Structure 1
Amino acid sequence: MTNRTSVRRPSLIAGLLCLTPLSAVADDDRLGTINITAVREAPSVAPAMPQTVITREEIERSQARSLEDLLTGRAGLNVTNLGGPGKQSNVSIWGQSASRTAVFVDGMRIGSVSAGQSYLEHIPLAQVERIEIVRGPRSGQWGADAGGGVIQIFTREGAEDGVHLSGGIGAGSRGHREADAHVGGRQGAFDYSLGVAHQETDGFDAQSDPTTDPDDDGYERDSVQLQAGYRFGDGGHVRAHAIASSAEVEYDGDSDNSEIEQRTIGLSASTGRIGFWQLRARAGRHIDDQDSYKGELFFSRFDTQRDTLFVANDFFVDESTTVTLGADQTDDKVSADLPYTTEKYEEDSRRNQALFAQVNTAIGERLDVQGALRRDFNEQFGTANTGSLDLAYALTDAWTLTAGHGTAFTAPSFNLLYYPFGFGNPDLEPERTRTTRAGVDWQHGPYALELSAFRSKVRGFITPGENPENIERAEIDGAEIAGSLSLDDWQTGMALTYLSTEDEQSGDRLPRQPRWSGRLDVDRAIGAFTVGGTLRGQSDSEGGPWAEDNQGFVTADLRGAYRINADWRIEARVENLFDRDYQVVRGYNQAPRGVFVSLRYGR
């Protein structure tokens, strides 16, 4: 999505104080599933990295109504939202901007080519199977824009034999209505999944500025998701997937409503293991189109497209060593129609090609090592070399020491380069990031604890707002702690993140990066009942050169569910229990207290 609200309305960014926390993650999820993202699907175990896996079970237990709601306060993450459901939302990792967070859906890179960021508000949680988050630079595996980390979203697939149905309907405060249905299953080597979802709300006034329209700003979205796959041989497969959403968004600004289309389609295949080798390939397209209006008057159109081609060869050197060699290509295109100006983008397309290598190995019984190197050939900015080295040393069965160092580069987006009215600067150069980390992990039965400290130096940091420019350097120091407990009928999780950021040119903190943020989730099953709650919050943050500073906040949610039988359950949730008046970004309201109920069937 390419909404320029954050630039058009200088009074943006708001703040937050807090206390905080993460989510309960089972042991096998924390150290197993995450390896898909950490090693870009290479069939080998990666060293322990700062990571979070959110399973389908946790998504349902949380009763979250949006992806940004689910991610807010997680370890190392900072989520911003400009005024409620359907409004511009993005995520940054470890104090780096959202443009340095690479977001993928089923292996396909998503996001607005023009804005250079991935917006989360139009991805329906009803169609998400799990989410994997790796924090720290991953450009060696995933390419440009992965300086802060990677978020990989996997849509639902048919994982069990037979035919399985699920779905639900719900309603709540501010005219909230939703419905979804899913059918999936597996027949022999063939599996399939099909889901549809609808969500709408009358919303609330998105902006607190009294000069804007004092009306409710609603949101409506329809979406469809499908997957089909066939498995053969020793791990071989062919799989097609697609997810599409169509949304109508109301907001306050120079334009006040938008029609948005997002589509991601892909095809992946693997030969499976043939002796000591296997071949993997993936191709796909992500489309992000937005038409904006002032009332019924056409205001702007941004159509963006990203085509991706990826191929990798895995060589199984021995039982503990896998070497991966591969290449990928990304083609970005943007088309803009701005009737209020004769200025046009000087460039509207660019291609990036890359070669990469990765090795995963174990040295002895205690040390795991992963190394990655990548060389990008960007037709607009030339070549860039990135890489990473990650280590994990098992002190005991429970304690593991971890360390890593990685580099990344981020090319400026088309908007940063060419947006009219002085918002763009065609002389911008790519940002280059170096990050060093160290940590310790502890696991004992149902208990898990992770502690990480990190330092990032960004050379050529691009300043936000009008007339963006490269400054010599920005520095980010931080630490995070995350823990979980799964014991009998209890599920608990917590996360706490500390950030110290500095624009070394001005001495100011980086915009929208709170010093403290976090989350606490507690759930308990009592027979057929389940009750739980979430605390989320953050401290104040810098507003930026053209916005007021953001205040801190803490909010609380309560939830409960009653299982009628094996298939049916009733859910209820109270958001913002104490009806706090707060803003994540200064000038943009967040939802007051709301009550939501739903009836669910199946999984």
Structure 2
Amino acid sequence: MKNSKSFGRIASAPALSLIALAVAVQVQAQVLEINPVVISATRMAQPLSEVLASVSVITRQDIDKSQAASLADLLRGEAGFEFGRSGGPGSTTSFFLRGQESKNVVLMIDGVRSQTDGIGALTMTHVPLSQIERVEILRGNAGALYGEAAIGGVINVTTRAGAGEPKAYGTAMMGSRQTSELTAGYGGKVNDITFDVNAGASESVGFSAMNPAKNATVNPDRDGTRDQYVAASVSQKMDASLRLGLRANAKTSRTDYDTDNSWSGLKTDTNQFQIKSDSVGVFANKRFSDQWTMDVDLAQTHFAYEAIKNGTVATNARYEGRQDVLRLASTYALQDTTLLNVGIDRANEAFNQRTVYDMKRDSQAVFAGVTTQINRWNFQANVRRDELTVDRNSSASSLQKNYVNHNHLLGAGYQLSPEWRLTSTLSTGFRAPAANDLVGAYGNPNLQPETHRAEELGLVYNVSNALMRVVYFQTQTQNTIAYDSQYKPQNTGEMSNKGLELSTRSQIWGNQVKGALVLQDPWNVTGGFLPGRRAKQYGSLDVSRGWNAYDIGLKMNASSSRSDFSYAGSPMLAGYATLDLYVSRRLSESLMLRAKLENALDKKYELAGGYNTPGRGLFITLQYQPK
């Protein structure tokens, strides 16, 4: 694969195609939700144009139109978001926000923090898209709102809950690489009960996860994936002031993967990993008065991972995790323009390799926040105190560490005119060492938490048919936790990042336009190198519009070169640009036929060194969704 000479050259051909489409097709404009309500930025509902932090929203309409294969593919192209993946959809995936490490990201599902494993990595990066109602991406340090590890930001997933008259819905999809998916659901409202239940299954024969041309020892066979999943939610309005509810879901997936067999076995060896996850939770919303409301969530999640070699579970390759969570948040309107939010978060987590060690992490936090408006000014202040206890017990040693951290966020916005608004924030955050970093052959009991400081200055333009945001940010991380040449974690010093983010949701000349561009400079100051798999420039442009009975569009994603690993002298991954084409046609009020030509130009690129990515593929979806 040839290195790109510049980000501009990478993006130029698809961008010209987008302009040509916008000029050539003169048709009726479509409806795009320009200014949706968001919750992530303050833990309270606000229009997107009024939040001080940098936030993106992906609606159910956006999900359907994207025809994305996974959560990572759905988020791809959003400002601030990058990912690495060891093969196709279903493979091991790492999320990066605002140039931060993949462990410095928090994933929330229905307000409950997703579990991490023994090294602090997310365990739930493959949420079925058929179960999602919307996604909010909060970029930048949110430690004062969401606590430990929310340094890069927060991905907040809201699942389907049902609304309106009960209706069935579903999809049937088939496409390249013998890919297929079937989903079905039923949801709505009956009297005071709101409910939704859905299930699905998908599979693909895939392609060789690793590139045999770069590593002759890998098994060159296809590496496929198979998923089955089910989810349900129900809530009842008990009286005028109280609603109680229950959520539950379960998922099983099995994914083939490649490994370097030069030291671990034969070229003909087959490798798979199987993941089982489930969760159940109860929630309540209580309105004490017109000014005072309270939300309570209790949830338990379970995660199990098995590595399978030649049909047999590999030695010491079974992992399990459990998490019990309590979240209580109360909102009080001090006056029409001032809202107060206070609450507690508690979590008890356990993770173990069944025959070798046990790890536990208990956390508790109290938080408070206030937003207020004074004439043309808006202000936001958040404070949070986190206490964590991390335990690690192995056959050789054990250790317990306690961490206490206080963080804050201060923000201000000024309305320059009805269309233009200035915003700014100053925030602090932290990430504690993971349990597996502390004890064992590669552990370091002397590790200290990372500490983080961030500043942002933004400009927002908001009119009826456009919402655009430009943000300048800079971040500094002290006591960065990284691995040395012996794979031992160390506090290696300072990391920094600064740059510009541009994002838009607009209706332009009848076109629906979503776009993002990031120009950043992530850098390990102490070591003098570029952090792994984070580009200095990347972006996307998605343009679509109606044409008679059709909705046609295309999306371009582009990225400049990236370091493959986080150390000096790491190999580089070349820059790339991909182009997706999509079209849909409404067959009736309830039926929609969709098609997508993914990676239409069949570009070869890497998201992790030596691993393949999907080539050109055609996918057809029949969607049943009554209005």
What's the TM-score, normalizing by structure 2? 0.87
Corresponding residue for residue 206 of structure 1: 209
User: CA 1:516–1:287 in 2, change beyond 3 Å: closer, same or farther?
Assistant: same
Which of these residues, 310, 329, 342, is aligned with residue 312 of structure 1? 329
Deviations 1:220-264 (A, max 9, x none): 000111111123556642221122210001001268211101223
How far the C-alpha of 1:102 sits from its partner, in A, is: 0.6
Within a 5 Å distance, the mapping from 1:259-270 to structure 2 comes to: 259-270=274-285
How far the C-alpha of 1:113 sits from its partner, in A, is: 2.5
1:349 equivalent in alignment to 2:349: no
1: distance between equivalents of 2:536 and 2:308?
37
1:86 is paired with a residue whose SS is coil
1: distance between equivalents of 2:47 and 2:418?
20
For the 8 Å contact 2:455–2:474, the answer to whether it is kept is yes
1:70 is paired with a residue whose SS is helix
Deviations 1:101-122 (A, max 9, x none): 1101111111333231225553
How far the C-alpha of 1:134 sits from its partner, in A, is: 1.0
User: CA 1:220–1:448 in 2, change beyond 3 Å: closer, same or farther?
Assistant: same
Give the RMSD, CA atoms, in angstroms.
2.4
Which of these residues, 46, 51, 58, is aligned with residue 54 of structure 1? 58
1: distance between equivalents of 2:301 and 2:46?
26
How far the C-alpha of 1:488 sits from its partner, in A, is: 7.4
Comparing 312-321 with 284-293, greater Cα deviation is found at: 312-321
1: distance between equivalents of 2:527 and 2:127?
37
The number of residue pairs the alignment matches comes to 575
Which of these residues, 185, 201, 204, is aligned with residue 182 of structure 1? 185
1: distance between equivalents of 2:520 and 2:277?
33
Within a 5 Å distance, the mapping from 1:374-413 to structure 2 comes to: 374-379=384-389, 380-413=401-434
1:245 equivalent in alignment to 2:283: no
How far the C-alpha of 1:265 sits from its partner, in A, is: 2.3
1: distance between equivalents of 2:346 and 2:45?
18
For the 8 Å contact 2:403–2:432, the answer to whether it is kept is no
1:482 equivalent in alignment to 2:468: no
Amino acid at match of 1:469: Q
User: CA 1:15–1:314 in 2, change beyond 3 Å: closer, same or farther?
Assistant: farther
1: distance between equivalents of 2:288 and 2:46?
10
Corresponding residue for residue 166 of structure 2: 163
How far the C-alpha of 1:269 sits from its partner, in A, is: 0.9
Within a 5 Å distance, the mapping from 1:64-75 to structure 2 comes to: 64-75=68-79
Amino acid at match of 1:179: L
1:574 equivalent in alignment to 2:594: no
Quick one: percent identity of the two aligned structures? 27
Deviations 1:116-146 (A, max 9, x none): 1225553111111100111111111111111
Between 1 and 2, higher relative CO (CA 8 Å, sep ≥ 6) is seen in: 1
2: distance between equivalents of 1:15 and 1:457?
29
User: CA 1:551–1:417 in 2, change beyond 3 Å: closer, same or farther?
Assistant: farther
User: CA 1:120–1:491 in 2, change beyond 3 Å: closer, same or farther?
Assistant: farther
Corresponding residue for residue 434 of structure 1: 453
Corresponding residue for residue 197 of structure 2: 194
> Which of structures 1 and 2 has the bigger CA Rg?
2
Q: Which runs of 5+ in 2 are unaligned?
A: 19-30, 265-269, 390-400
User: CA 1:593–1:433 in 2, change beyond 3 Å: closer, same or farther?
Assistant: same
For the 8 Å contact 1:47–1:368, the answer to whether it is kept is no
For the 8 Å contact 1:234–1:273, the answer to whether it is kept is no
How far the C-alpha of 1:44 sits from its partner, in A, is: 10
Comparing 510-519 with 269-278, greater Cα deviation is found at: 269-278
User: CA 1:44–1:479 in 2, change beyond 3 Å: closer, same or farther?
Assistant: closer
Within a 5 Å distance, the mapping from 1:440-479 to structure 2 comes to: 440-464=459-483, 466-479=487-500
For the 8 Å contact 2:34–2:505, the answer to whether it is kept is no
Deviations 1:455-512 (A, max 9, x none): 1100111114611211121111121101122257521111001110221211111111
User: CA 1:275–1:124 in 2, change beyond 3 Å: closer, same or farther?
Assistant: closer
Deviations 1:308-345 (A, max 9, x none): 1112232321111122222221111011136xxxxx44
For the 8 Å contact 1:85–1:121, the answer to whether it is kept is no
How far the C-alpha of 1:526 sits from its partner, in A, is: 1.2
Corresponding residue for residue 42 of structure 2: 39
Runs of 4+ in 1 over 6 A off after TM superposition: 42-46
1:68 is paired with a residue whose SS is helix
2: distance between equivalents of 1:425 and 1:70?
37
User: CA 1:231–1:390 in 2, change beyond 3 Å: closer, same or farther?
Assistant: farther
How far the C-alpha of 1:291 sits from its partner, in A, is: 0.8
2:319 is paired with a residue whose SS is strand
1:129 equivalent in alignment to 2:133: yes
User: CA 1:120–1:355 in 2, change beyond 3 Å: closer, same or farther?
Assistant: closer
For the 8 Å contact 1:352–1:377, the answer to whether it is kept is yes
2:74 is paired with a residue whose SS is helix
1: distance between equivalents of 2:225 and 2:601?
24
Amino acid at match of 1:186: K
Corresponding residue for residue 3 of structure 1: none
Corresponding residue for residue 301 of structure 2: 286
For the 8 Å contact 2:41–2:52, the answer to whether it is kept is no
1: distance between equivalents of 2:483 and 2:222?
29
User: CA 1:235–1:575 in 2, change beyond 3 Å: closer, same or farther?
Assistant: farther
2: distance between equivalents of 1:489 and 1:44?
23
How far the C-alpha of 1:97 sits from its partner, in A, is: 1.1
Q: Which runs of 5+ in 1 are unaligned?
A: 1-13, 339-343
How far the C-alpha of 1:43 sits from its partner, in A, is: 8.4
1:584 is paired with a residue whose SS is coil
Which of these residues, 308, 327, 339, is aligned with residue 322 of structure 1? 339
1: distance between equivalents of 2:157 and 2:136?
7
Which of these residues, 553, 558, 564, is aligned with residue 537 of structure 1? 558
2: distance between equivalents of 1:514 and 1:581?
17
How far the C-alpha of 1:16 sits from its partner, in A, is: 11
Amino acid at match of 1:399: W
1:463 is paired with a residue whose SS is strand
Amino acid at match of 1:195: N
1:562 equivalent in alignment to 2:585: yes
Which of these residues, 235, 246, 251, is aligned with residue 229 of structure 1? 235
